[in-house]
Amino acid sequence: MPSPKPDTPRANLGWTNRLGLGFMRLLAGVPLPWMRRLGWLGGQVLHGVAARRRRIARTNWALCFPQHSEAQRNRAVRQHFVYFVQAWLDRSWLWEANEATVRSRLRLVGATHELQGNAPTVIFAPHFVGLDAGGTALSLFVPRKFISVYAEQVNKAVDSWILKGRMRYGFKLVNKHQGLRPVVQALRTAEVLYFLPDMDMGPSESVFVPFFGVSTATVPTLPRLALLGQAKVVPVVSRITPQGYDVEILPAWPNYPGADAKADTALMNQRLEAMIQTMPEQYYWVHKRFKTRPPGEPSFYGKD
């Protein structure tokens, strides 16, 4: 196939991607307070122009926090866009700055003893905007091998940059199309799984369990992996702070999983709700969390 001409949309997109990645690499040396201000400005702009994602976030917020007024909801969603952009820009220094800078901006707190030793462990890492900071902090400060499941990005240049960044300090990534076998094998050899099971993955592998009182399609993979790997489940919450990120390790869930995968999945959502309540604007609201509906129920998002 011949190369595209310089004035084709495909070529222009390639230049745009290269410029974007170059910009992110340049940002690695910018002082963090300036980065935060730039993220605040970018969040305001994105909130204004990304109408579709703004509607999705507002719909999600209204479903999860029906007690909030429209003004409260709109303020929260605007702040969410700020955190979203700040966390995205922070990937510049997480993946490109020197190690001393990265270490100085990450703080591992909480029940750090849960990750000591060689016990098989699944980390429940919900989709807070700082999830990449959480993975970096664990791989830097915890002397164990970590593995995570990875979904390829459409753009190859961006995909390569993200892969390189996430594997920078020894994280091993498994493509989701490889299935669960390599993940279970890793758990049984004392690797720690950094796992993010709280997105809508469609109806085929999901069960419907409550999430903020809404019947929500949720994959029951967390209890299944913990059972197959004979692993404990340790929640980790990554929180943006003015100094960088606090990555909090919470106590392992006792007697988890149980005998019923659906009940265990419902319990996962219940505990996730409690985590979200501590910093609701930092959860990932721009995803259609309630896209898959039980048979006969209309979409919450209309034709969006």
Kindly give, in sequence order, each residue whose CB lies less than 8 Å from that of residue 302, ignoring residues fewer than 6 positions away.
none
The pLDDT assigned to 17 comes to 66
pTM above 0.75, yes or no: yes
Please tell me the distance from the alpha carbon of residue 229 to that of residue 232, in angstroms, as a whole number.
9
3-state helix, strand, coil in the chain (%, to 5): 50, 15, 35
Helix (H, G, I), strand (E, B) or coil at 115: helix
| Domain positions in the chain | 9-282
Phi, psi of 199 (to 5 degrees): -115, 160
The pLDDT assigned to 14 comes to 55
User: Is the per-residue pLDDT at 11 higher than 50?
Assistant: no
Phi, psi of 122 (to 5 degrees): -110, 125
Percentage of the chain lying above the pLDDT 90 cut:
72
Which pLDDT band holds residue 1 (cuts at 50, 70, 90)? very low
- Are 95 and 140 within 8 A, CB to CB? no
User: Is the per-residue pLDDT at 33 higher than 50?
Assistant: yes
The pLDDT assigned to 75 comes to 98
